[in-house]
């Protein structure tokens, strides 16, 4: 079983739509959780950290359920510029990041 699992998509949504991505992780000792965004042929960029209490940054909301080992990302009012691959990232020991394969999002006009 992979450490971090995501639905690869692609998710095709119209501009203005709300879209949600899910991620599960296998190591219950995992300590830190992030969502990264990766554009085609570019390096990943940190979108937001994920906290147990849930956190929001503008149109983006991230939630963590430790009991279910589940992380989510909600994007409201989708923009064309949100089109990218969203990577779920988990840290369980040291500082090394464990990446999911990513969920592809395409926002259409």
Partner 1 sequence: GAVVSQHPSWVICKSGTSVKIECRSLDFQATTMFWYRQFPKQSLMLMATSNEGSKATYEQGVEKDKFLINHASLTLSTLTVTSAHPEDSSFYICSARDPLAGRGDTQYFGPGTRLTVL
The residues of the shown chain that bind partner 1, judged by CB under 8 A, are 4, 31-32, 41-46, 49, 87, 91, 94-102
Report d(CA 50, CA 33) in Å as an integer.
Answer: 5
CB of 2 to partner 1, least distance (A): 8
Closest approach of partner 1 to the CB of residue 107, in Å: 20
59-98 CB burial, b ≥16 within 10 A, e <16: ebbbbbeeeeeebbbebeebeeebbbbbbbbbebeeeeeb
Closest to partner 1 by CB, 96 vs 109, is: 96
**Nearer residue to partner 1 within complex by CB, 40 or 67:** 40
């Amino acid at each position: 079983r992979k450490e971090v699992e995501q639905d690869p998509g692609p998710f095709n949504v119209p501009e203005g739509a709300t879209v949600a991505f899910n991620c599960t992780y296998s190591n219950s000792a995992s300590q830190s959780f992030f969502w990264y965004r990766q554009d085609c042929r570019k390096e990943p960029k940190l979108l937001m950290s994920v906290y147990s209490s849930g956190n929001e940054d503008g149109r983006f909301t991230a939630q963590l359920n430790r009991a279910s080992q589940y992380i989510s990302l909600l994007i409201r009012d989708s923009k064309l510029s949100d089109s990218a691959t969203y990577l779920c990232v988990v840290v369980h020991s040291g500082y090394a990041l464990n990446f999911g394969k990513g969920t592809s999002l395409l926002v259409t006009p």
